[in-house]
C-alpha cells in the first residue's frame, strides 16, 4: 500500500509554478545588482538574473512523491535508522545555503516505510526557505503523522554559510538540532544511538 503525501500548505504555494512571477523576480535580481554598483550589461552579468532565479527556484521548490509503506508482517520492533542523508537548504534570514547530513529513524508499528522515502521527506522540507530548528521538527512531525510509528527521531548536522562566509566567519562550524517523538522522546538510550558513531 502506498500513502500519498497530502499537500502541505507551506510547500504547496512554493511548488505552484503560477505563484512565481519569473519576470518580476529576474527584474528584482537585475535591480539588486545595479544597486550594488554592478554593470548588468556586461557579458558576465547579462544572464545572471535568469540564472539566479532558476537556481533559487530549484532550491526552494520541492518535488512531490508518494510515501511508500508496507505492512510490518515480521513484527519488526527495533530502531530503523538511516544515517548521513545529505541535504541542503536556504537560510530564510540571509538567503545563503546551509547544508549537512540528516539522521532519520523510527520505531515501526503496523507499517514500515521504503528507506529511500526517509531521504525524500528530508528533501521535501529542505527545499524551502528554512531555519534548521524548524526543518528538524517538520521532518519528525511529518513522519509521525503519516507513518504512525511508535516513535520518530531526527538529528540534523549542518554548516551555515551565513556563519561561515559572513558575520562570525566560523568556517567548518556545525549546528546540531534534534527532534524526537513518541517512544524515542522518552527513551534516552535510543536517542543516544542517533548521536553515536
pLDDT tens profile 107-159: 999 999 999 999 999 999 999 999 999 999 999 999 999 999 999 999 999 99
Annotation marks residue 92 as catalytic: yes
CA distance 187 to 20: 44
CATH code, residues 67-195: 3.30.1130.10
Task: Tell me what pLDDT residue 18 has.
Answer: 64
For residue 183 the three cell numbers come to: 517512544
The answer to whether the Cα torsion of 162, 167, 172, 177 is positive or negative is negative
Annotation marks residue 132 as catalytic: yes
pLDDT at 16 over 60: no
- Give 89-108 pLDDT, tens digit per residue: 999 999 999 999 999 999 99
pLDDT at 4 over 80: no
Whether 30 and 40 have beta carbons less than 8 Å apart is answered as yes
The domain at 10-60 falls in which architecture? Orthogonal Bundle (1.10)
CA distance 48 to 25: 12
State the CB neighbour count (10 A cutoff) for residue 189.
6
3 state SS of 195: helix
**Catalytic residue among 91, 103, 123, 138, which?**
91
Least confident of 11-20, 124-133, 158-167, 175-184: 11-20
State the CB neighbour count (10 A cutoff) for residue 22.
13
Least confident of 66-80, 135-149, 182-196: 182-196
**Catalytic residue among 132, 142, 144, 146, which?**
132
Annotation marks residue 91 as catalytic: yes
For residue 188 the three cell numbers come to: 534516552
- Give 137-148 pLDDT, tens digit per residue: 999 999 999 999
Domain coordinates of the chain in residue numbers? Answer: 10-60, 67-195
Q: How confident is the model at residue 184 (pLDDT cuts 50, 70, 90)?
A: very high
Helix axes 132-147, 115-126, angle to 10 degrees: 140
Annotation marks residue 162 as catalytic: yes
Annotation marks residue 142 as catalytic: no
**Catalytic residue among 19, 27, 93, 133, which?**
93
Q: How confident is the model at residue 2 (pLDDT cuts 50, 70, 90)?
A: very low
Task: Tell me what pLDDT residue 19 has.
Answer: 86
Amino acid at each position: 500500500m502506498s500513502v500519498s503525501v497530502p499537500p502541505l500548505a507551506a510547500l504547496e504555494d512554493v511548488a505552484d509554478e503560477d505563484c512565481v512571477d519569473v519576470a518580476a523576480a529576474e527584474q528584482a535580481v537585475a535591480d539588486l545588482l545595479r544597486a550594488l554598483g554592478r554593470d548588468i550589461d556586461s557579458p558576465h552579468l547579462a544572464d545572471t538574473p535568469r540564472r539566479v532565479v532558476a537556481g533559487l527556484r530549484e532550491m526552494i521548490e520541492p518535488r512531490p512523491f508518494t510515501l511508500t509503506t508496507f505492512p510490518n508482517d515480521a513484527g519488526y520492533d527495533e530502531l530503523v535508522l538511516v544515517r548521513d542523508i545529505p541535504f541542503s537548504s536556504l537560510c530564510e534570514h540571509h538567503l545563503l545555503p546551509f547544508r549537512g547530513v540528516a539522521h532519520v529513524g523510527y520505531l515501526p508499528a503496523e507499517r514500515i516505510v521504503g528507506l529511500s522515502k526517509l531521504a525524500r521527506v528530508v528533501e521535501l522540507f529542505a527545499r524551502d526557505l528554512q531555519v534548521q530548528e524548524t526543518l528538524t521538527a517538520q521532518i519528525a512531525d511529518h513522519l509521525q503523522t503519516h507513518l504512525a510509528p511508535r516513535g520518530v527521531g531526527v538529528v540534523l548536522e549542518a554548516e551555515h554559510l551565513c556563519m561561515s562566509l559572513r558575520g562570525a566567519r566560523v568556517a567548518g562550524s556545525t549546528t546540531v538540532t534534534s527532534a524526537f517523538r513518541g517512544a524515542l522522546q522518552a527513551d534516552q538510550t535510543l536517542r543516544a544511538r542517533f548521536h553515536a558513531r
